[in-house]
Amino acid sequence: MANTFIRKTSKGIGTAFFQVGANTAGASQTGAYTVASSTQTTVIGLSVSNITASAVDVDVSLSATMANTTSDISICTTIPLPSGSTVILVGGDQKLVLVTGDLIKVKSSASASLDVVMSMLEIT
């Protein structure tokens, strides 16, 4: 079994859900991270930064799909994030285990307002 540390980022997240690692919102999200089959993934860091001059609200969910939100598991809901600040949702002693097909998605209350960094350990 190979152990690989990886990092996925998304820049300028707005009011539609972005899958972490994606360059844009919507159905075809280039670069987005989804746990592959025969892979075990542990999220060891998940940071969300407000890159605007105003406060925003942040939603982060664990899901198996971008299309349907009814089965989403909320990691945080409507967390207020002041201008220029960062919230660390996973890090230190906190870890998050993902299984095959899982993805993390993020959205904001304002357009182009969030940057996200997710660090993981993959075991294949």
pLDDT single digits (tens) 32-84: 888 999 999 999 999 999 999 999 999 999 988 776 677 899 999 999 999 99
Residue 121's closest CA among 95, 101, 102?
Answer: 95
- Is the per-residue pLDDT at 27 higher than 60? no
- Is the per-residue pLDDT at 24 higher than 90? no
Q: How far apart are CA 121 and CA 69, in angstroms?
A: 26
Largest CA distance in the chain: 45
Strand partners, 61: 74, 105
Mean of the per-residue pLDDT values of the chain? 91
Enumerate the domain spans of the chain.
Answer: 3-123
**Contact at 8 Å (CB) between 50 and 82?**
yes
Specify the DSSP class assigned to residue 36. P
Q: What is the pLDDT, as a whole number, of residue 25?
A: 65
CATH number of 3-123: 2.60.120
Q: What is the pLDDT, as a whole number, of residue 70?
A: 75
Question: How big is the chain by its Cα radius of gyration, in Å?
Answer: 14
